[in-house]
């Protein structure tokens, strides 16, 4: 065997501290990590981010440290100053606070923070924290795109120079992340001649290698780790590599996650060919320089264990295949494009991604071969026996023995009623000039008043706004002042509002949202007993819920069920992707929302990421169902059902294609049909990313039938990038006259930002012969 020998060269950051104030961390200390999305991701549950890597490094050295994670996506120095009191008042009280701030202040351009204001904000943050007796570790801001000469990085220089100066002035510890990052990027480009992103996935947010860089820098420069302590820390990094390498479904290494998953070999081959290296040489050049000696050893063992060691003959076969592809002018990605992105669908411990072997079956049929013959003929040189068996097993997982198109190749062929540009139906609830605004929800009080609540400032951002309409959504009035001050200060992330009726007939309104300081652990609750005129804070619920619960349903015994999502990792389930796999939970109140039963799992699916359920009841009232978002976006949405009022549930199954979307909400129209709104996420749909409604019967949903038609409700005017689908969280209300009111967030004008907009319609206004346009 021609063993892949990875270099033992370790890239250990050894930059000298810019100040002489470094102090040794010790057991009993508490660290508060204050920052933006880089810090949020760095401490994300079960992710090998820099905060979590540091925590592992402390434990490896016998240092018992408590951690407070205060990273919030999108935040700049202004928002961090607003919430620094949360750091100071955290329990247990922090001994240290790390401050990572500056990227968004520059990167966000006109929405950023100018240098004079940035200096003032940072100075106030440090003064407040030091006055509370907390030691401060300042991070210089990391690069914005991995090009030191671009305009953003040139602008960032002054911000980082200020951070270095104030660290000296205030006696803070400095961890110079920017210099460490520049050095590793420069080394990578010199070594390989490549100019792609090395330490980030998108040019800003750290991939695994970037998190390793940040962890090493703060351990060495911020917390004065000795060489012996760093050696133990490096061993924990090696273990992290093993953990994510054995995680099916991980994105391939060159996209930034540094994972060796079952599918990686073909990804390595593709990139090796593109860079004119043999695979083993590509691995050596790409990874050895950033792995410590210990991590390199673990990395190599993992490669050998998973069959990524090749004989000379095998390497030659790969080279011959590369040559054949080139000579026949075949697209190199011909066997990879059966899945989304750059992932090889059929090389995976879960088989052919979702809906299995459509891609291979299609290619095999075109070639007049069986799928097995096609695999053997075309991939024999790159498949070991274990992987080939996994493929064959995957081909027969469908219980009906049939095949269906891969979701990424599906489309939706229902006709569409397009009212998205009908301004007479629309009312702007909150303009983008007052925002931006995000993730709306509505509820209708007993007196007919409709209330809308939403996040603002950034996606999943703080709460605060509320509006009401007394004329069925035609006009709206802001009533933020009715809510207690704590709502804008502590509540965050996609608020929901519900009307809950107790068994004695007493109706109450509730607003629920995450508590920013304890996101994923505690749910903040406001309550009104007078149709929304006054509100009080209720005791928070200690629920594991990444988002507030998205579904509410009255039960036959007078109680009310609520449904939400939580990371399976929170309850230590066996999962294939610990970074984001979620399940659906249920809780019941028997006293109108004053108290709730413990969370109980009602739906989960292997290799699926289930979240944001919508609950509804059958026409005869005997069955309740859940429509569930599948957040990997590699499958249709899912659904499950209960015929005993939620005591037991069927296993989740796919919905029809037309219901493939995010954040379902809906009402049963007067004629018995269901109107279900959602963000269209079905790939190849003519309205991908738009705010849509599906129309059909309960039986259509239950039996996976296509439905009758769809409605394009509002036009979201972003057509590329992730933001093209940043719409669709909504409230849906059925008014007494049969009008259906749908309220969501959307980019309403070409030049504007996100606004909250309501649109109104009746189903009987649609003339199928005139209004329904065939799907394109």
- For 216, how many CA atoms within 13 A lie in the half-sphere containing its CB? 26
Where residue 329 falls (left for φ over 0; alpha for ψ -120 to 50; beta otherwise) is left
Q: Which strand (E) or helix (H) includes residue 42?
A: helix 37-42
Q: Encode 301-315 in three state secondary structure.
A: HHHHHCCCCECHHHH
pLDDT at residue number 365: 65
pLDDT at residue number 381: 43
Q: For residues 289 and 184, what is the distance between their CA atoms, to the nearest angstrom?
A: 9
Using a cut of 0.75, tell me whether the model's pTM lies above it.
Answer: no
Which residue ranges in the chain fall short of pLDDT 50?
1-22, 242-270, 273, 278-280, 287-296, 298-300, 302-311, 313-315, 317-318, 321-322, 325, 329-359, 380-409, 518, 571-579
Q: For residues 729 and 550, what is the distance between their CA atoms, to the nearest angstrom?
A: 10
Q: For residues 483 and 130, what is the distance between their CA atoms, to the nearest angstrom?
A: 33
Residues paired with 757 in a beta bridge: 428, 744
Torsion sign over Cα 512, 513, 519, 524: negative
For the sheet with 730-734, list strands across it.
426-430, 754-761, 740-747, 730-734
Q: For residues 152 and 107, what is the distance between their CA atoms, to the nearest angstrom?
A: 7
User: Which residues in 554-583 are b (16+ Cβ under 10 Å) and which e?
Assistant: eeeeebbbbbbbbbbbbeeeebbbbbbbbb
- Residues 225-266 have pLDDT tens digits of 999 998 888 877 766 554 433 333 333 232 223 333 333 444
Quote the DSSP letter at residue 267. Answer: H
Instruction: For the chain, report the end-to-end CA distance as a whole number of angstroms.
Output: 54
Q: For residues 691 and 678, what is the distance between their CA atoms, to the nearest angstrom?
A: 6
Helices H, strands E: what count in the chain? 20, 31
- Residues 330-358 have pLDDT tens digits of 332 222 222 222 223 333 222 222 222 34
Angle at 271 between CA 265 and CA 277, to 5 degrees: 95
Which residues touch 719 (CB under 8 Å, ≥6 apart)? Answer: none
Cβ-contact 645, 623 below 8 angstroms:
no
Angle at 509 between CA 640 and CA 502, to 5 degrees: 70
For the sheet with 96-100, list strands across it.
66-71, 30-35, 96-100, 135-139, 173-175
- For 1, how many CA atoms within 13 A lie in the half-sphere containing its CB? 9
Which residues touch 354 (CB under 8 Å, ≥6 apart)? Answer: 406, 407, 607, 634, 635
The token pair at 605 is: 């699916």
Q: For residues 250 and 252, what is the distance between their CA atoms, to the nearest angstrom?
A: 6
Task: Give which of 776, 755, 60 is closest to 439, Cα–Cα.
Answer: 755
Phi, psi of 442 (to 5 degrees): -135, 160
Q: Which strand (E) or helix (H) includes residue 477?
A: strand 477-478
Residues paired with 755 in a beta bridge: 746
Cβ-contact 614, 729 below 8 angstroms:
no
Which residues touch 519 (CB under 8 Å, ≥6 apart)? Answer: 492, 493, 546
pLDDT at residue number 276: 52
CA 398 to chain centre: 29
Q: For residues 598 and 600, what is the distance between their CA atoms, to the nearest angstrom?
A: 6
Task: Count other C-beta atoms under 10 Å from residue 448's C-beta.
Answer: 13
Q: For residues 73 and 39, what is the distance between their CA atoms, to the nearest angstrom?
A: 8
Which residues touch 502 (CB under 8 Å, ≥6 apart)? Answer: 508, 558, 591, 592, 593, 594
Quote the DSSP letter at residue 743. Answer: E
Q: For residues 97 and 31, what is the distance between their CA atoms, to the nearest angstrom?
A: 6
Q: For residues 162 and 122, what is the distance between their CA atoms, to the nearest angstrom?
A: 10
- For 167, how many CA atoms within 13 A lie in the half-sphere containing its CB? 26
Q: Which strand (E) or helix (H) includes residue 468?
A: strand 466-469
Quote the DSSP letter at residue 145. Answer: S
Phi, psi of 696 (to 5 degrees): -175, -175
pLDDT at residue number 570: 52
């Amino acid at each position: 065997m021609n063993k892949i020998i990875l270099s033992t060269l370790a890239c250990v950051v050894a930059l000298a501290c810019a100040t002489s104030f470094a102090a040794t961390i010790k057991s009993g200390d508490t660290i508060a990590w204050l920052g933006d999305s880089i810090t949020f991701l760095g401490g994300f549950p079960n992710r090998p981010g820099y905060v979590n890597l540091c925590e592992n490094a402390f434990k490896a050295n016998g240092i018992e440290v408590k951690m407070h994670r205060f990273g919030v996506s999108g935040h700049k120095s202004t928002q961090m100053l607003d919430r620094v009191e949360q750091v100071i008042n955290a329990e247990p009280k922090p001994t240290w606070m790390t401050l990572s701030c500056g990227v968004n202040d520059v990167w966000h351009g006109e929405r950023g923070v100018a240098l004079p204001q940035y200096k003032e904000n940072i100075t106030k943050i440090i003064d407040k924290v030091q006055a509370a007796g907390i030691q401060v570790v300042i991070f210089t801001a990391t690069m914005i795109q991995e090009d030191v000469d671009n305009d953003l990085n040139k602008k960032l220089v002054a911000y980082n120079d200020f951070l270095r100066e104030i660290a000296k002035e205030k006696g803070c510890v400095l961890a110079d992340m920017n210099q460490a990052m520049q050095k590793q990027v420069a080394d990578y480009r010199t070594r390989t001649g490549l100019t792609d992103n090395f330490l980030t996935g998108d040019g800003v947010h750290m991939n695994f290698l970037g998190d390793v860089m940040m962890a090493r820098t703060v351990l060495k420069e911020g917390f004065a780790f000795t060489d012996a302590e760093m050696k133990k820390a490096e061993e924990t990094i090696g273990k992290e590599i093993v953990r994510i390498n054995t995680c099916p479904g991980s994105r391939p290494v060159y996209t930034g996650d540094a994972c060796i998953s079952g599918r990686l070999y073909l990804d390595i081959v593709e990139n090796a060919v593109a860079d004119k290296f043999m695979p083993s040489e590509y691995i050596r050049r790409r990874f050895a320089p950033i792995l410590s000696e210990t991590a390199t050893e673990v990395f190599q063992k993992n490669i050998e264990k998973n069959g990524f060691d090749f004989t000379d003959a095998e390497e030659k076969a790969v080279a011959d295949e590369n040559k054949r592809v080139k000579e026949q002018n075949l697209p190199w990605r011909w066997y990879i494009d059966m899945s989304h992105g750059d992932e090889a669908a059929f090389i995976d411990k879960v088989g052919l991604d979702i809906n299995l072997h459509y891609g291979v079956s299609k290619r095999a049929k075109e070639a007049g071969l069986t799928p097995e013959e096609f695999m053997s003929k075309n991939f024999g040189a790159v498949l070991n026996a274990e992987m080939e068996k996994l493929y064959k097993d995957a081909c027969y997982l469908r219980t009906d023995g049939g095949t269906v198109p891969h979701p990424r190749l599906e489309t939706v062929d229902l006709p569409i009623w397009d009212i998205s540009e009908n301004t007479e139906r629309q009312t702007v609830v909150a303009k983008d000039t007052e925002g931006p605004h995000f993730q709306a929800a509505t509820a209708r009080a007993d007196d007919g008043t409709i209330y809308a609540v939403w996040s603002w400032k950034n996606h999943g951002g703080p709460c605060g706004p509320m509006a009401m309409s007394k004329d069925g959504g035609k006009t709206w009035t802001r009533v933020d002042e009715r809510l207690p001050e704590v709502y804008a200060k502590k509540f965050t992330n996609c608020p929901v509002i519900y009307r809950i009726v107790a068994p004695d007939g007493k109706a109450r309104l509730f607003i629920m949202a995450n508590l920013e300081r304890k996101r994923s652990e505690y749910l903040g609750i406001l309550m009104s007993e007078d149709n929304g005129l006054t509100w009080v804070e209720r005791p928070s619920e200690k629920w594991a819920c990444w988002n507030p619960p998205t579904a509410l349903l009255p039960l036959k015994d007078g109680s009310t069920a609520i449904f939400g999502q939580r990371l399976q990792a929170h309850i230590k389930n066996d999962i294939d992707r610990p970074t984001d796999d979620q399940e659906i939970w249920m809780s019941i109140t028997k006293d109108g929302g004053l108290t709730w039963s413990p969370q109980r799992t009602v739906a989960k699916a292997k290799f699926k990421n289930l979240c944001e359920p919508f609950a509804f009841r059958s026409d005869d009232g005997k069955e309740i169902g859940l429509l569930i978002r599948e957040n990997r976006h590699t499958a249709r949405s899912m659904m499950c059902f209960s015929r005993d009022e939620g005591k037991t549930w069927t296993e989740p199954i796919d919905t029809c294609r037309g219901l493939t979307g995010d954040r379902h909400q809906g009402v049963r129209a007067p004629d018995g049909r269901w109107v279900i709104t959602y963000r269209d996420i079905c790939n190849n749909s003519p309205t991908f990313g738009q705010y849509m409604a599906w129309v059909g019967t309960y039986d259509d949903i239950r039996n996976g039938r296509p439905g009758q038609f769809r409605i394009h409700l509002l036009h979201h005017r972003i057509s590329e990038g992730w933001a093209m689908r940043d719409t669709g969280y909504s409230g849906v209300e059925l008014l007494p006259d049969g009008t259906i009111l749908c309220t969501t967030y959307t980019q309403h004008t070409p030049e504007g930002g996100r606004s909250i907009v309501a649109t109104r319609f009746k189903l009987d206004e649609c003339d199928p012969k005139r209004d329904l346009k065939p799907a394109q």
